[in-house]
Structure 1
Amino acid sequence: MLAFKLFPFIQAIVIIMCFILPLKKVSLKYRILLALIFGLGSLKQYIYIFSGGDMMDPKLTRYPAIFFDTIYFSSIFLFLLTLLRMLINGLYKLSRLNFSKLIIPAQSTRYAALFLLIACLIGGRAVFNGFASPVDKFYEISVKNLPAEANDLRIVELADLHISAPTITSEIEDIVERVNKNEPDLILIAGDFVDGSIEELDHMTKILFKLKAKYGVYAVSGNHELYSGYKEWIDYFEKGGIKFLENDSTIIRNENDVPLLNLCGVIDISASRFHLPAADIAKATANTDRKLPTIFMSHQPKIANQLKEISDLTFCGHTHGGLMPGLKQIVAKVNGGYVSGLYNTGRQRVIVSNGTRIWAGAPLRLHDPSQIVYVTLKQ
């Protein structure tokens, strides 16, 4: 946590000392301007001090958030390009055994302009993608022992909605309208609904109560519910018709009372740190029908490694698809090898959603877009 808090200051110092100050051909006023933009831009995570939020939820409305996030991520990419330049020059010096040799001179305004352009283009595009509408992602999954009555059963997964200050009402309305238009049999929401309080977000979160599915809308909590008032939010959503399976299960039955499948869910795996029950697979599956296939919900995908011979199909979120190449591999590593898409593990299939929206704390995407996941079950 200390490294997370200190990193922005290190980044700002590197940009100012190693990128801006060497540009002797650039006038002092422009160097000061660059230092203010990209030095202070590196410290965006501390803007909550002025906006009234916190590091997890800075409470910036949409357009200020887009503005500051574009500068912030442009600063990060400028920092990375500066480090890359330093690495290339260092390796070149070692290869030549001549420490006066440089491939990319730090004082070159031409290279500096190129680096600035690349950083701003990538940063701007990443934030644009982060705030873009979700795409539709379709899967057709064969499930062993699926009853004939459940063949072609349609499931929609939402995850990581992260409704917060930058969210606008029309975004949530569009998601609900698109899902309902598909006429799903079952809607599953894999955690991280909100960042903020009920009082602040009710005008948007209540739109989710319009979600309609033949066999109901079910959910599990995510880690961000734990930060935002777990008990209050779970009660709120359940009163609105969204049933939470927190270390619990239900048997989905059709209109003729024919059992179709087990649906299980666990509380977020970090819940015990907040004096809440720990994720409990045994409790979640205690009342299942062993003759039926089992569908499982967990916000964080690493728990899927414990479900290989328990679950037939597991729905997760949390990773946001890894956000960008390079970071994606790190995110996969800390999430049990899961980061985005469909995985086969034992009898289990695991679907890790990229998230339906994006967290306001890191609203960037460079490769894996936000998505609404549509699944059709097959015998």
Structure 2
Amino acid sequence: MTLFKLYPLIQALIIVIFFIRPIRCSLKTKLIISAILLVGTFKLYVFIFTGGNAMDPKLSRISTMFLSCLYFSSLMVLMLTIFRMSINGLYKALRRNISKFIINPHSLRYALLSVIVSLLLGTVSVYNGFKPAALCSYTVNIDTLSPLADGMRIIHLSDLHISAPTTEEEIEDIVKEVNKRNVEIIVITGDLVDGDVDSLKKKTDILFKLKAKYGVYAVSGNHEFYSGYDSWIKYFNKGGIRFLENESVTISDNDYPLLNICGITDATAYKYSDKKADIPTAIKNVDSDAPVIFLTHQPKVADELSAISDLTLAGHTHGGLFPVLKSLVAAANHGYVSGFYTIGKEKMIVSNGTRIWAGIPLRLKTPAQIIEITLKRTNSF
């Protein structure tokens, strides 16, 4: 059993021993609080029991949302408990008296307030997680952009995470919203799916309705490698979504090069297969007369592209999900977590994701996004 599978048990023990046990109340009340918090804590085990896993839950949308509300609530209680223990421990040390504390661990009022606040935050976060993506627009200036490409528009999707809880209506709505923009290029920066082709084909087939003048391009994310990489890449390429795995394509107008679109295999691919991200191979066929648009799932790769890419598009971070976690996600991705960045000549846009991963479907102040990018010549008028 991996540490990942043991984590829910560790979380449950901390909640029971340090949050529930000290409360001065009836056994019935403790059992009710325990039921609320522990069902959510053991969400991973419920996924496994029902034939799924954290990456690919085999549950309906409503069941997933319900369990996730309870999960986030229990996680908030865990964080509040650790905070309380830290504050009280520091206070005891300063006062040199182990009987002193600032936050009373025996208080039923404090316990109930913690549970209620956590449930409210959990419900709001999961509701936000499943909300439709909002349109987000950027204008990006590129010095070397051809006059013929001035004003060209790109739709950037990322982290669709199509899985059992996803409805066909959700994907239809995304496709309709994108197609009505009537853009020249559509790109998808990884984590399209959580599950196998046979299980998700009816939903993912909808993506083949995406339309753009110069085509739809994508790169793999880490979740493709959890879900059967080779099968998915073959399936999407056959359906008209071209995956750029360490390769490039030049977009031309009457043989005049407008843009190079380059893409690399996900940075963690080497852990799961014989494939690996290879930037030199990805750029070896680019046309030097046209700017480079680089697709990568993980934004931390941007530092290696600062002398290569004019515009890098990435996802993976989900915008950090919520404020406290956002700093940790940023630190794990070289500081890149959400929005627009400039790294030398390179500009980068990191998407919050177009949908949400069912394993942690939480959002606070990090809305899902469909990003529309307008390319402009720096000196165009």
TM over 0.5: yes
Separation of aligned partners in 2, 1:40 and 1:216: 45
Q: Do 1:12 and 1:40's aligned partners in 2 also have CA atoms closer than 8 Å? A: no
- 1:285 maps to what in 2? 283
Which residue of structure 2 aligns with residue 9 of structure 1?
A: 9
SS of alignment partner, residue 155 of structure 2: strand
Q: Which residue of 2 aligns with 1:317?
A: 315
Q: Does 1:358 align with 2:356?
A: yes
Could you say which residue in structure 1 is the equivalent of 2:266?
268
Structure 1 CA distance for aligned equivalents of residues 87 and 267 of structure 2? 42
Paired residue secondary structure (1:167)? coil
Residue of structure 1 in register with 2:123 after alignment: 124
**Aligned-pair CA distance for 1:275:** 2.5
Cα RMSD over matched residues?
Answer: 1.3
Asked if 1:329 corresponds to 2:331, the answer is no
The alpha-carbon deviation at position 326 of structure 1 amounts to 2.1
Q: Deviations over 1:290-321 (max 9, x none)?
A: 12111000111111110000000001111111
Q: How many angstroms does 1:91 deviate by?
A: 2.0
The answer (yes or no) to whether the contact 1:299–1:318 under 8 Å persists in 2 is yes
1:196-235 equivalence runs, <5 A: 196-235=195-234
Amino acid at match of 1:171: E
Q: CA deviation at 1:2?
A: 4.2
- Alpha-carbon distance between aligned partners in 1 of 2:259 and 2:22, rounded to the nearest angstrom: 65
Distance in structure 2 (CA, Å) of the matches to 1:177 and 1:235 = 25
Gaps of 5+ in 2: none
Residue deviations 1:117-154 (CA, integer Å, cap 9, x gap): 11111111111111111111110000111000000000
Q: In structure 2, the residue corresponding to 1:47 is in which secondary structure?
A: helix
Separation in 2 of the partners of 1:276 and 1:93? 54
1:287 and 1:49 mapped to 2: Cα distance? 45
Q: Distance in 1 between matches of 2:272 and 2:15?
A: 38
Unaligned ranges ≥5, structure 1: none
**Is 1:223–1:271's contact at 8 Å kept on the other side of the alignment?**
yes
Correspondence for 1:104: 103
Match of residue 182 from structure 1: 181
For residues 133-152 of structure 1, what are the structure 2 equivalents within 5 Å?
133-152=132-151
Of the structure 1 ranges 160-169 and 29-38, higher mean CA displacement relative to structure 2 is found in: 29-38
> Any conservation in 1 of the 2:257–2:287 contact (CA below 8 Å)?
no
The corresponding residue for 1:303 is 301
Structure-1 separation of matches of 2:169 and 2:57: 21
Cα distance in 2 for partners of 1:275, 1:101 equals 55
Q: Quote the offset at 1:30 in angstroms.
A: 2.2
User: Is structure 2 residue 92 aligned with structure 1 residue 93?
Assistant: yes
Larger displacement relative to structure 2 (41-50 or 285-294)? 41-50
Contact 1:13 1:39 in 2 (8 A): no
Residue type at the aligned position of 1:335: N
2:188 alignment partner, SS class = strand
Q: Provide the C-alpha distance between the structure 1 equivalents of 2:36 and 2:9, rounded to a whole number of angstroms.
A: 14
1:22 aligns to 2:22 (yes or no)? yes
What is the CA–CA distance in structure 1 between the aligned matches of 2:346 and 2:303, rounded to whole Å?
10
Quote the offset at 1:3 in angstroms.
Answer: 3.8
Alignment check: 8 A CA contact 1:218 1:243 kept = yes
Alpha carbons of structure 1 residues 4 and 50: separation in structure 2 relative to 1, 3 Å:
closer
Identity of aligned residues (%): 53
Query: Which consecutive aligned stretches of 4+ in structure 1 deviate over 6 angstroms post-superposition?
Result: none
Native 8 Å contact 1:220 1:267 kept in 2: yes
Count of residue pairs the alignment pairs up: 377
Tell me if structure 1 keeps the 8 A contact 2:319–2:366: yes
TM-superposed CA distance for 1:369, in Å, is: 1.1
